[in-house]
Structure 1
């Protein structure tokens, strides 16, 4: 596998581009325009992972991250340096706050927002190095 690319169709392309590129800080790798006002921007979001969870895990994450408010079936999570600061920036840029930043049992600071292009997103800030988290209950060594 060389790359995971998540493709999102945005009704308001310009607003979504400003939000994700300029406010969230994703770097534009390429952009293309075509006939009929066709436009695409490919934004670099760093390393990609695919997180699979069963329904019980989803409910547990919802309980921790958003006081039990169910998340969308597909939610995009972004690791950031400062979850609280970036959450404030994204709300000021038009995202709707679902849940403010809170520390999770897996030692990250998570917030949840409804963002442009009708995406539900989680911002997370790791509070502990991955090498030491496996010592906590429930974690497995990779």
Structure 2
């Protein structure tokens, strides 16, 4: 893995939500992503920028996408793009989001990489994964299937 600083300062995912109020309530108030700033130019024009903590871009080939779906217990076809949120207690947050209107696609499941992952269909047409790390990064790196070889 690289130790060079990233030229990118922030990853911002922009999602069009037909039901703006429901989406903001779900992600800001229920999931707990604080609002950094909101803009409006009048009329129905509104946007809210929510703090999602540290951002990463996970790029998976189709075979790995299928592996993730399988180990997370997902039986329906997942979209090419989904959002994943690291939380402290994926089971509790799954219950909260389910009660707030998300549909549980797969309940919290312990993956081979020792994350407790749940998959939900959420407002704004997004499929999301909630994941809770149960081991530290050093222990995870020693698990079978972890390849951090940069020489490829």
- TM-score scaled by structure 2? 0.90
How far apart in 2 are the matches of 1:58 and 1:5? 22
Is 2:77 the counterpart of 1:70? yes
1:103 corresponds to = 110
How far apart in 1 are the matches of 2:50 and 2:74? 31
Unpaired runs of 5+ residues, structure 2, are: 1-7
Aligned pairs, number: 142
- The root-mean-square deviation of aligned C-alpha atoms, in Å, is 1.1
How big is the shift at 1:68? 4.0
How big is the shift at 1:34? 1.2
Is 2:56 the counterpart of 1:52? no
1:43 corresponds to = 50
1:19 corresponds to = 26
Which of residues 113, 116, 122 in structure 1 aligns to 2:123? 116
How far apart in 2 are the matches of 1:83 and 1:59? 21
Is 2:16 the counterpart of 1:9? yes
Unpaired runs of 5+ residues, structure 1, are: none
Residue by residue, what CA displacement relative to the aligned partner does 1:66-92 show, whole Å, maximum 9, x if unpaired? Answer: 244321111100000000000000000
Residue by residue, what CA displacement relative to the aligned partner does 1:12-60 show, whole Å, maximum 9, x if unpaired? Answer: 0000000000000001000011123100000000000000001110111
Superposed structure 1 runs of 4+ greater than 2 Å apart: 66-70
CA contact (8 A) 1:65 1:99 kept: yes
